[in-house]
Amino acid sequence: MRIISTDKAPAAVGPYSQAIVTGGVVFLSGQLGLVPESGALAEGGTLGQTKQIFANIDAVLREAGTAPENVVKTTCFLTDIGDFAAFNELYAAYFTGKPARSCIEVSALPKGASVEVEVIAEIL
Helix axes 45-64, 84-94, angle to 10 degrees: 30
100-105 and 71-78 as β-strands: parallel, antiparallel, unpaired? parallel
Judge whether 76 counts as a catalytic residue. no
Q: In sequence order, which ranges of 29-123 are alpha helices (DSSP H)?
A: 45-64, 84-94
Q: Which among 67, 90, 103, 109 is annotated as catalytic?
A: 103
Count helices and strands in the chain by DSSP H and E runs: 2, 6
Q: Residue 86: what are its φ and ψ, rounded to 5°?
A: -65, -45
Question: Active-site residue numbers?
Answer: 103
